[in-house]
Structure 1
Amino acid sequence: RELLWGGPLRLLDHAAMRRRAAEGLAEIGVNVPSVEVAVGALSGGQRQAIAVARAVLSQARILLLDEPLAAMGAREARLIIDLIERLKARGDIAIAMIAHNYAQTLEICDRVVLMQHGEITFESAAAATSAAELLEIIRREYRAARAG
């Protein structure tokens, strides 16, 4: 949120905004070179972390992540996974993640829900299933749909 100086003109307080951004990023463990660096100059993982941080710092109660690890290298994906783990540990925000990488999904999530055409086809605790089981369920659903 914008921090404003009082008075009739209500000017932006850039120093306070930079300070609050740095504090907020540090609070959830996001490391960027400087809050003054253009987001476009950051790595994909850092940009994704900034997007997550914006939601968290705006006091969102639910965080919906759509393919948060797509097109990322291992190092960048690890940065986002670590951030998600820290947010989970805080316990003050619900996180729903849409993903197709089942190994990463099982590493991050507490529960797994498979959906097809808007219908839940499988639901389980992440610890009670495996990537192989999820793939087999999807193959079975695909074959059934093709046989149709």
Structure 2
Amino acid sequence: MLDDISLNILKILQEKARVPNIDVARQVAMAPSAVLERIRKMERQGIIDGYEVRLNPARFNRRQIAFIEIRSRSVGDRPETGEALAAIPEVQEVHYVAGDDCYLVKVRVADTTELAALIREKIAVIAEVASTRTTTVLHTYKETARIPIRA
């Protein structure tokens, strides 16, 4: 179980992962060495899964987001299908979902022309893919991988 100090450290790191350890220590009123040990322990325990740089999609001509609902030819989750979808570089998320469709995939591409090519040339050619239904994003108000932490 995580105590309030560890939860506060996680909140700080989610806000800015590159924050200097000394700054974290000041914010939680602990010695820097103790904070570093807590962070390393949370990494070892798998609480902290990793650190990631968020790039500006516009700088890489990747402004268009789309969600693709994929219906499989078979009933049930086929790990090889999920893995094949996950291996596509433009795919940011793959979720096996309940309901009529089997997978919900988030992609980021330059534009709708690239989106159409992605569906036609990389997704539809996967053997288990029976059909797709695509929703394109017009404007994003929030996009995050942060998990709400309550002390």
Q: What TM-score results when the alignment is normalised by the length of structure 2?
A: 0.29
What TM-score does the superposition give when structure 1 sets the normalisation length?
A: 0.29
Q: With a CA cutoff of 8 Å and minimum separation of 6, indicate the structure with the bigger relative contact order.
A: 2
Structure number with higher helix proportion? 1
More strand by share: 2
